[in-house]
Structure 1
């Protein structure tokens, strides 16, 4: 689910590996931690790295997630948000450049058709 988004009633899971911010965190299950955003009342929108197998209410039970989590500090949050924004802007730029190229081609085709009609 790389880059995907899932929700539970207490966190949002961005399902990106911990290399997202240039740091690598590994949970106690020996898996790459995933970036999540807390949606609890006490820590609304706090971002943290957690075990990818985590499910609400099932920590420590057989076959489920470990209790690993690491809250991002202010610099990591800013860096991550800046990287997110830059990636979204780059994607938008590429999409708009393709759209412009498509309009240019359509315009050239219309000009050619107009020339044939005259």
Structure 2
């Protein structure tokens, strides 16, 4: 939906592969952040050794950054597209949290008869 909202054209210079569609935000960057972020969150609970947790974090960061850099290298995204892809998930989570909190407060006010 964000790609349709922004309608940003892909870079024309130094494109190594042909791809159609809009550029902003990067879906690959967003998916990498989501998958490796959730995977890290889930595995963190079952890993007790600090060195192993550190390796898990390092692996996830390297994979997320490598996917983002590869999209720039292939010439299908601008760096801002990658950053937008990384920021979309935390923004969506924050927006959802505020929505749920406001809804919770509104439901409490209705129950109290205000």
- Shorter-chain TM-score category? 0.3 to 0.5
Q: Flag the structure with larger Rg.
A: 1
Larger helix proportion, structure 1 or 2?
Answer: 2
TM-score scaled to structure 1, two decimals?
0.35
Counting strand residues as a fraction of each chain, which structure ranks higher?
1
What's the TM-score, normalizing by structure 2?
A: 0.36
